[in-house]
Amino acid sequence: MRGSVYYQTSLLVKAIFKSGAKKKERINPNHPNYKKVASYKTMESYRNIWNNLLNYLKEHWNLKDAEKIEPVHIAAYIDYKIEYYPSRLYLNKIVSAIGKLETALEYYTQNNGNPKEYDFNIRNELKQKAVDLELVAYNYHNRAYDEPEKIIETLTDPLHQFAATIQYEGGARLEGVSLIKLEQLKGTKFDKITGKEKGVIWTKEKGGKEGEVLVSIETYKNLKNHIEKYGKFKLNKQKYADDIRNSCKKLGIHVDGTHGFRWNFAQRRLLEYGKAGYTYELALLKVSKEMKHNRASITTHYIG
């Protein structure tokens, strides 16, 4: 499929939209209107998400043809959206829109004489995992913890304390702390922003983005000792999330999952750049890069 993102989605809309199609037709596998969209408002909502998805794939994956979308691209996009703590309602809308994209692509390729089947079912699996790990919200709020250090101290598993500390000190994502090997430990370096020596952990996270995570020397040494003793640092994501949930409830603190510590990092790091003499705009960009994002504006999401 050629053309701009918006032209391609217009073709997909033509393939799946049927104004006035009755429900009994849309649920009948033998009817030409099976799985089609009949509402203008719903179609507009779906198309907006398709536009966002295709623009994301164009920018991050250099994929410019909607017909070439694969499950790996859908998984990356949903992970990308979950990064910003979407409401459960919005995530459901994204998942529904991707389901209709699957159907639209099948209708489009069929109409053009080159039928192709698509399977984007991974969207449902990722949505459920996001709900289980409390990575979605019922409404938007500042997700940084008021007392992150107290929460970390209350965690019952030392591995979870390690992971939370790395997220809090270095801003790592959940996948960045779920498995760390010895070769990822890159020694120490001087952090000119704080004027302190920091330990360097090299992580590869969402979308294949790699980079440094800076932690305190104490955290770095403890992590290195653990890996040298056990061969690697590995934790169960669900048990980690459950431990955080239980600790927060015990302390009477609102539960915001593993990602809350990353929010704490973003807010603290922005202040550190400010104290080091950086302009607000440059500080936003620097923090964004450290968190493995591309745009400075993304950091504003973490500061409310």
The answer to pTM > 0.85 is no
| Alpha-carbon gap, residue 208 to 72, rounded angstroms | 12
**Is there a single domain that holds both residue 72 and residue 153?**
no
Residue 289 confidence (pLDDT)? 86
pLDDT, tens digit, 9 for 90 and up, residues 163-191: 999 999 999 988 889 899 999 999 999 99
Of residues 24 and 297, more confidently modeled: 24
Measured CA distances, 25 to 18, 30, 34, 244 (Å): 11, 9, 6, 47
**Is there a single domain that holds both residue 11 and residue 122?**
yes
| Lowest-confidence segment of 199-208, 224-233, 237-246 by average pLDDT | 199-208
| Alpha-carbon gap, residue 188 to 223, rounded angstroms | 13
Within-domain flag for 140 = no
Using a 10 angstrom Cβ sphere, with 0-12 exposed, 13-18 middle and 19 or more buried, the burial of residue 188 is middle
Tally of domains in the chain = 2
| Lowest-confidence segment of 48-62, 98-112, 133-147, 278-292 by average pLDDT | 133-147
**Is there a single domain that holds both residue 222 and residue 293?**
yes
**Is there a single domain that holds both residue 201 and residue 122?**
no
Within-domain flag for 157 = yes
- Contact 156/253 with Cβ under 8 angstroms? no
Domain membership of residue 250 as a residue range = 148-303
Instruction: Give the residue from 93, 219, 123 showing the smallest Cα distance to 168.
Output: 219
**Is there a single domain that holds both residue 58 and residue 83?**
yes
**Is there a single domain that holds both residue 276 and residue 171?**
yes
Degrees, nearest 5: CA angle 50-54-60: 145
**Is there a single domain that holds both residue 158 and residue 270?**
yes
**Is there a single domain that holds both residue 171 and residue 227?**
yes
| Alpha-carbon gap, residue 10 to 103, rounded angstroms | 14
Output the domain CATH number for residue 178: 1.10.443.10
The dihedral sign for the CA sequence 2, 76, 134, 85: negative
**Is there a single domain that holds both residue 170 and residue 77?**
no
Confidence of residue 64 (pLDDT cuts 50, 70, 90): very high
| Alpha-carbon gap, residue 15 to 33, rounded angstroms | 10
**Is there a single domain that holds both residue 113 and residue 211?**
no
Within-domain flag for 143 = no
pLDDT, tens digit, 9 for 90 and up, residues 76-110: 888 778 766 677 788 889 999 999 999 999 999 99
**Is there a single domain that holds both residue 293 and residue 166?**
yes
**Is there a single domain that holds both residue 128 and residue 168?**
no
Indicate the residue among 132, 157, 183 that finishes a domain: 132
